[in-house]
Amino acid sequence: AQSVAQPEDQVNVAEGNPLTVKCTYSVSGNPYLFWYVQYPNRGLQFLLKYITGDNLVKGSYGFEAEFNKSQTSFHLKKPSALVSDSALYFCAVILSMDSNYQLIWGAGTKLIIKP
Amino acid sequence: NAGVMQNPRHLVRRRGQEARLRCSPMKGHSHVYWYRQLPEEGLKFMVYLQKENIIDESGMPKERFSAEFPKEGPSILRIQQVVRGDSAAYFCASSRGLAGVGETQYFGPGTRLLVL
């Protein structure tokens, strides 16, 4: 079955330290990969995506993610965490871009940045 | 416990017609979110509603689009006088409590709107 896994329910990082939020996928074909963030009392916001090309993708708020085909991973990273990065982060995969594409979501990871 | 339900799954409209998209949240969920997905782009947040209230509509176009979540019945996303640029997949999600505070959103299968 097609699936997306975020193995950590919660990640705790001290402010100023690098952060990583993990995402792995199990799908057939070539996936299109996305990261979204949800702040308290708000809807999801798009952070970044990988469609094709360079495996290292840079997105909003200083975040980046690296597509690793051999490890089927798309981990979200930031070199120096801010307290304001505390939020829920969701990884998602789209299997194709035609009219019948499927959107598969990870369960989400709660990121807590401590001052 | 049934998941988030959306209907119709596919909707075809001609320019100028109205489109009504319905979303029934999971049982026990009183918070609903609507998103639009455009080809090769990510989800774009449109509106966040709690029963009978709009919490955040910062992503909603100012004209032709409206949303409601009545005390009884599904949430409705209404698009008046549709144009071709409205063609997209519209996803609904629901959560038990306030978004982003440890509450997970659960997504419906989406409604694919095609405007001819």
**Residue range B22-42, pLDDT digits in tens:** 999 999 899 999 999 866 566
- Determine the pLDDT at residue A16: 97
Phi and psi (nearest 5°) for B107? -100, 145
A67 to chain B, minimum CA–CA distance in Å? 17
Contact status of A46 with chain B (Cβ, < 8 Å): yes
Residue B41's pLDDT is 60
Q: pLDDT tens digit string along A13-59?
A: 999 999 999 999 998 877 888 898 888 766 678 888 888 888 999 99
Please report the pLDDT score of residue A99 as a whole number: 47
Instruction: Give residue-wise pLDDT tens across range A68-84.
Output: 999 999 999 999 999 99
Chain B CB contacts of A44 under 8 Å are: 33, 35, 43, 45, 93, 105
User: What are A90's strand-pairing partners?
Assistant: A36
CA distances from A30 to A14, A50, A52, A93, B13 (A): 35, 11, 9, 10, 32
Q: Which one has a higher pLDDT value, A99 or A93?
A: A93
pLDDT at B100 (0 to 100): 52
Cβ partners under 8 Å of residue B63, min gap 6: none
Dihedral in degrees, nearest 10, Cα atoms B112, B7, B86, A105: -60
Q: Please answer yes or no on whether B42 and A46 come within 8 Å at the CB atom.
A: yes
For residues B85 and A79, give the distance between their C-alpha atoms in angstroms, rounded to a whole number: 38
**Non-local CB neighbours of A54 within 8 Å, separated by 6+ positions:** none
Per CB distance under 8 Å, which residues of B are interface residues toward A?
Answer: 33, 35, 37, 39-48, 55-56, 59, 89, 91, 93, 98-102, 104-105, 107, 110, 112, 114
pLDDT band at A66 (very low <50, low <70, confident <90, very high): very high
